[in-house]
């Protein structure tokens, strides 16, 4: 299939584009490069063994999005593009609502006009809200505690309503737990702009010397070692989940399917730090700090529906996640280089 990958120059989007191409699909990237680097494109070309079609488009621009989809001949859209920093969403809620909802609405309008029937949405376990029991199941109610989370809850609802209005649509809502890791080559990986919010890139930056220590946000949680537990899954397993979901959309007559993408196994902060020390070969300086507002003690998936319906399992271990992250970070201590700005011809 010819598949438009929005946010395809981003962390999960880039890994998924590669796996779509490896699975025989024609993956096409659209990205506005606000939160990703143009230099990713040349690395993806090298890993894919061919030049990947890339479009620089602001998906909140209805006309530009329609022109792209009208000319594209796409069979499906995999939608990663969106702002995703919880803290920033509290400071700039209108940016988050207009960008995240606007891009989804533009894509759906264009898809409806030009007959693109399949939509895979990058959702998040954050839609389970703050008090969800574990393991989390897809039939749990959804809510949020910050504008970023609400944009995910709202986009899921938009997609459900769009599918009621157009039963020919096939939608996959993929609820990610905690994606980490990098392509085994070490040439692509997670490169958050500014100060990372998430644990793994912070640990990686401490390990490579960009940061002097890791703060452990609370060691008094009701967990075995007192630190928060999360369901970390390897980004390559996550990407494979998208390929499996797309295949499923081609055979199911269910209009909207929801799947947790997680391992089902929680790992604590201290266990991640220890695994990363094994991967990088040295101890990591840590300091216990107060709990972070909004953090829960535990969050992990019941992944049984994806296993049963997609034949998908996230089976890479936390050690593999840390080894692959370390290879990426140690080979790219400052992340991706800034490509020269200018026309899209500078994308390579
Ligand atoms: C993981 C654990 C922290 C940083 C977030 C978003 C969620 C989703 C995934 C997009 C927690 C601890 C962290 C640090 C620490 N993103 N930690 N020191 O909070 O589970 O989920 O990312 O969909 O929406 O909320 O991930 O990586 O921030 O934290 O001790 O410097 O690491 O307390 O237990 P989180 P995280």
**For 266-298, how does the pLDDT look when each residue is reduced to its tens digit (9 = 90+)?**
999 999 999 999 999 999 999 999 999 999 999
Q: Does 343 have pLDDT greater than 60? A: no
Q: Is the CB of 321 under 6 A from ligand 1?
A: no
Q: How far is the CA of 220 from the centre of ligand 1 (A)?
A: 16
Please tell me which residue in 11, 96, 128, 148 is annotated as part of the active site: 148
Q: Any catalytic annotation for residue 97?
A: no
pTM: 0.97
Give, in order, the Cα–Cα distances in Å from 27 to each of 11, 19, 52, 74, 90: 15, 9, 7, 10, 34
The ligand 1 atom nearest the CA atom of 197: 28
Residue with CA at minimum distance from ligand 1 atom 21: 178
- Find out whether 29 and 8 touch, Cβ atoms under 8 Å: yes
Q: How far is the CA of 218 from the centre of ligand 1 (A)?
A: 12
- Find out whether 289 and 216 touch, Cβ atoms under 8 Å: yes
Residue with CA at minimum distance from ligand 1 atom 32: 199
Mean pLDDT, rounded, for 47-52: 98
Q: How far is the CA of 148 from the centre of ligand 1 (A)?
A: 14
Mean pLDDT, rounded, for 17-41: 97
The ligand 1 atom nearest the CA atom of 230: 20
Q: How high is the pLDDT of residue 341?
A: 52
Phi (first) and psi of residue 38, to 5 degrees: -65, -25
Q: Which of 192, 217, 298 to mutate to test the pocket of ligand 1 (most atoms within 8 A of CB)?
A: 217
Query: Which residues have a Cβ under 8 Å from the Cβ of 23 and sit 6 or more positions away?
Result: 243
Q: Is 6 helix (H, G, I), strand (E, B) or coil?
A: strand
Domain boundaries, the chain: 2-331
Q: Is 2-331 CATH 3.40.50.720?
A: yes
Query: Which residues have a Cβ under 8 Å from the Cβ of 242 and sit 6 or more positions away?
Result: 16, 19, 20, 78, 120, 174
Q: What is the DSSP string of 153-201?
A: HHHHHHHHHHHHH-TT-EEEEEEE-EEE---TTSSS----SSS--SHHH
- Condensed to tens digits (0 to 9), the pLDDT of residues 162-179 reads 999 999 999 999 999 999
Q: Does 5 have pLDDT greater than 60? A: yes
CA distance 181 to 186: 10
Mean pLDDT, rounded, for 210-234: 98
Q: How high is the pLDDT of residue 339?
A: 73
Q: Residue 216's Cα: distance from chain center in Å?
A: 23
Q: Does 346 have pLDDT greater than 80? A: no
The ligand 1 atom nearest the CA atom of 292: 33
């Amino acid at each position: 299939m010819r598949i438009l990958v929005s946010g395809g120059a981003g962390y999960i989007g880039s890994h998924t584009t590669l796996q779509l191409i490896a699975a025989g699909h024609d993956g096409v990237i659209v990205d506005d490069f606000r939160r990703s680097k143009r230099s990713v494109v040349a690395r993806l070309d090298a890993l894919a063994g061919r030049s990947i079609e890339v479009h620089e488009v602001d998906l909140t621009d209805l006309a530009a999005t329609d022109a792209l989809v009208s000319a594209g001949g796409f069979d499906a859209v995999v939608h990663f593009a969106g702002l995703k920093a919880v803290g920033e969403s509290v400071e700039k809620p209108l940016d988050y609502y207009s960008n995240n909802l606007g891009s989804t609405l533009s894509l759906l309008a264009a898809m409806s006009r030009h007959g693109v029937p399949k939509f895979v949405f990058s959702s998040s376990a954050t839609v389970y809200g703050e008090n969800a029991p574990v393991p989390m199941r897809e039939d749990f109610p959804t809510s949020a505690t910050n504008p970023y989370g609400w944009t995910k809850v709202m986009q899921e609802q938009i997609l459900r309503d769009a599918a009621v209005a157009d039963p020919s649509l096939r939608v996959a809502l993929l609820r990610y737990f905690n994606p980490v890791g990098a392509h085994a080559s070490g040439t692509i990986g997670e490169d958050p702009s500014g100060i990372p919010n998430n644990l793994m890139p912070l640990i990686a930056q401490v390990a490579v010397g960009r940061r002097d220590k890791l703060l452990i946000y609370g060691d008094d949680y009701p967990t075995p070692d007192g630190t928060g537990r999360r369901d970390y899954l390897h980004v390559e397993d996550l990407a494979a989940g998208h390929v499996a979901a797309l295949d499923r959309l081609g055979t199911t007559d269910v209009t909207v399917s929801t799947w947790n993408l997680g391992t089902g196994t929680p790992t604590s902060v201290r266990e991640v730090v220890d695994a990363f020390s094994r991967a990088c070969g040295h101890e990591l300086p840590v300091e216990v700090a107060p709990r972070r507002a909004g953090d829960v003690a535990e969050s992990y998936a019941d992944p049984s529906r994806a296993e049963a319906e997609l034949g998908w399992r996230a089976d890479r271990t936390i050690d593999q996640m840390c080894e692959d992250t370390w290879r990426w970070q140690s080979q790219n201590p400052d992340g991706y280089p800034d490509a020269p700005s200018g026309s899209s011809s500078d994308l390579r």
